[in-house]
Amino acid sequence: MVDFGALNRIGRDVRKGFVPKLDIKLREREVHLLSLIHKHPSEPFIFYSDRIGLERSSFSYLSEALELKELITREDSKKDKRTKTMILTPQGRKLTDEIERQFQEYLSDLLCVLSQDELEKLDKSIEDIKKIIRKLGI
Protein backbone atom coordinates (compact mmCIF):
# COMPACT_ATOMS: atom_id res chain seq x y z
CA MET A 1 0.00 0.00 0.00
CA VAL A 2 1.15 3.55 -0.70
CA ASP A 3 2.44 5.41 2.36
CA PHE A 4 0.91 8.86 1.83
CA GLY A 5 1.85 9.73 5.41
CA ALA A 6 5.49 9.71 4.28
CA LEU A 7 4.78 12.73 2.06
CA ASN A 8 3.42 14.65 5.02
CA ARG A 9 6.35 13.62 7.22
CA ILE A 10 8.88 14.70 4.58
CA GLY A 11 7.33 18.16 4.30
CA ARG A 12 7.06 18.51 8.06
CA ASP A 13 10.61 17.33 8.67
CA VAL A 14 12.05 19.69 6.06
CA ARG A 15 10.18 22.65 7.59
CA LYS A 16 11.02 21.58 11.15
CA GLY A 17 14.71 22.40 10.77
CA PHE A 18 13.92 25.87 9.43
CA VAL A 19 13.96 28.70 11.98
CA PRO A 20 13.74 32.12 10.35
CA LYS A 21 15.76 34.95 11.86
CA LEU A 22 13.24 37.78 12.25
CA ASP A 23 12.75 40.96 14.25
CA ILE A 24 9.38 39.61 15.43
CA LYS A 25 8.76 36.41 17.39
CA LEU A 26 6.63 33.92 15.45
CA ARG A 27 5.68 30.35 16.24
CA GLU A 28 6.21 27.63 13.63
CA ARG A 29 2.49 27.48 12.79
CA GLU A 30 2.35 31.26 12.37
CA VAL A 31 5.22 31.09 9.86
CA HIS A 32 3.47 28.21 8.08
CA LEU A 33 0.16 30.11 7.88
CA LEU A 34 1.84 33.27 6.58
CA SER A 35 3.55 31.22 3.87
CA LEU A 36 0.25 29.59 2.91
CA ILE A 37 -1.50 32.95 2.67
CA HIS A 38 1.41 34.25 0.59
CA LYS A 39 1.17 31.31 -1.83
CA HIS A 40 -2.65 31.08 -1.82
CA PRO A 41 -4.12 34.53 -1.10
CA SER A 42 -7.82 35.15 -0.39
CA GLU A 43 -8.76 31.52 0.28
CA PRO A 44 -11.48 30.72 2.84
CA PHE A 45 -10.44 29.93 6.42
CA ILE A 46 -11.22 26.23 5.94
CA PHE A 47 -8.59 26.01 3.16
CA TYR A 48 -5.85 27.18 5.51
CA SER A 49 -7.02 25.27 8.58
CA ASP A 50 -7.16 22.04 6.56
CA ARG A 51 -3.63 22.60 5.21
CA ILE A 52 -2.24 23.29 8.68
CA GLY A 53 -4.32 20.56 10.33
CA LEU A 54 -6.06 22.63 13.01
CA GLU A 55 -9.63 22.62 14.26
CA ARG A 56 -11.61 25.85 13.84
CA SER A 57 -11.15 27.11 17.40
CA SER A 58 -7.37 26.60 17.34
CA PHE A 59 -7.17 28.06 13.86
CA SER A 60 -9.18 31.13 14.93
CA TYR A 61 -6.71 31.68 17.77
CA LEU A 62 -3.79 31.41 15.33
CA SER A 63 -5.31 33.84 12.83
CA GLU A 64 -6.22 36.29 15.61
CA ALA A 65 -2.61 36.25 16.82
CA LEU A 66 -1.38 37.19 13.34
CA GLU A 67 -4.02 39.88 13.05
CA LEU A 68 -2.97 41.37 16.41
CA LYS A 69 0.61 41.47 15.11
CA GLU A 70 -0.79 43.38 12.09
CA LEU A 71 0.51 40.77 9.65
CA ILE A 72 -2.89 39.78 8.20
CA THR A 73 -6.39 41.15 7.89
CA ARG A 74 -9.54 39.06 7.82
CA GLU A 75 -12.12 40.08 5.27
CA ASP A 76 -15.42 38.88 3.85
CA SER A 77 -14.91 36.62 0.88
CA LYS A 78 -15.72 38.18 -2.49
CA LYS A 79 -16.94 34.76 -3.66
CA ASP A 80 -19.12 33.93 -0.64
CA LYS A 81 -20.12 36.62 1.87
CA ARG A 82 -20.72 33.94 4.52
CA THR A 83 -17.02 33.11 4.69
CA LYS A 84 -13.90 35.02 5.66
CA THR A 85 -10.58 35.17 3.86
CA MET A 86 -7.17 36.31 4.99
CA ILE A 87 -4.96 38.88 3.28
CA LEU A 88 -1.37 39.77 4.10
CA THR A 89 -0.88 43.37 5.20
CA PRO A 90 2.05 45.26 3.65
CA GLN A 91 4.03 44.46 6.81
CA GLY A 92 2.97 40.80 6.55
CA ARG A 93 3.94 40.66 2.86
CA LYS A 94 7.38 42.14 3.60
CA LEU A 95 7.94 39.68 6.45
CA THR A 96 6.74 36.74 4.38
CA ASP A 97 9.03 37.71 1.51
CA GLU A 98 11.93 37.63 3.99
CA ILE A 99 10.80 34.26 5.38
CA GLU A 100 10.60 32.85 1.84
CA ARG A 101 14.08 34.20 1.03
CA GLN A 102 15.52 32.60 4.16
CA PHE A 103 13.68 29.33 3.46
CA GLN A 104 15.13 29.13 -0.07
CA GLU A 105 18.58 29.71 1.42
CA TYR A 106 17.89 26.96 4.00
CA LEU A 107 16.81 24.54 1.24
CA SER A 108 19.94 25.33 -0.78
CA ASP A 109 22.10 24.56 2.24
CA LEU A 110 20.12 21.37 2.92
CA LEU A 111 20.34 20.11 -0.66
CA CYS A 112 23.99 21.04 -1.31
CA VAL A 113 25.09 17.52 -0.30
CA LEU A 114 23.29 16.07 -3.34
CA SER A 115 24.90 15.65 -6.73
CA GLN A 116 23.36 17.31 -9.79
CA ASP A 117 22.04 13.91 -10.87
CA GLU A 118 20.42 13.36 -7.45
CA LEU A 119 18.85 16.82 -7.54
CA GLU A 120 17.39 16.13 -10.98
CA LYS A 121 16.01 12.77 -9.80
CA LEU A 122 14.49 14.40 -6.71
CA ASP A 123 12.91 17.16 -8.80
CA LYS A 124 11.50 14.63 -11.29
CA SER A 125 10.14 12.45 -8.46
CA ILE A 126 8.38 15.43 -6.89
CA GLU A 127 6.86 16.40 -10.25
CA ASP A 128 5.70 12.79 -10.78
CA ILE A 129 4.07 12.73 -7.34
CA LYS A 130 2.32 16.05 -8.03
CA LYS A 131 0.94 14.67 -11.33
CA ILE A 132 -0.34 11.54 -9.61
CA ILE A 133 -1.99 13.54 -6.83
CA ARG A 134 -3.72 15.78 -9.40
CA LYS A 135 -4.86 12.66 -11.27
CA LEU A 136 -6.31 11.27 -8.03
CA GLY A 137 -8.14 14.55 -7.50
CA ILE A 138 -6.61 15.15 -4.09
| pTM beyond 0.85 | no
- Domain 4-136, CATH among 3.40.50.720, 1.10.10.10, 1.10.4160.10, 3.50.90.10: 1.10.10.10
pLDDT one-digit tens code per residue, 9-31: 888 788 888 889 999 999 988 99
Q: Nearest Cα to 71, choosing from 40, 97, 43?
A: 97
Burial of 86 per CB tally in 10 Å (0-12, 13-18, 19+): buried
Task: For residues 75 and 68, give the distance between their C-alpha atoms in angstroms, rounded to a whole number.
Answer: 14
pLDDT one-digit tens code per residue, 83-100: 888 999 999 999 999 999
pLDDT one-digit tens code per residue, 37-75: 999 988 888 899 998 888 888 898 999 999 999 999 988
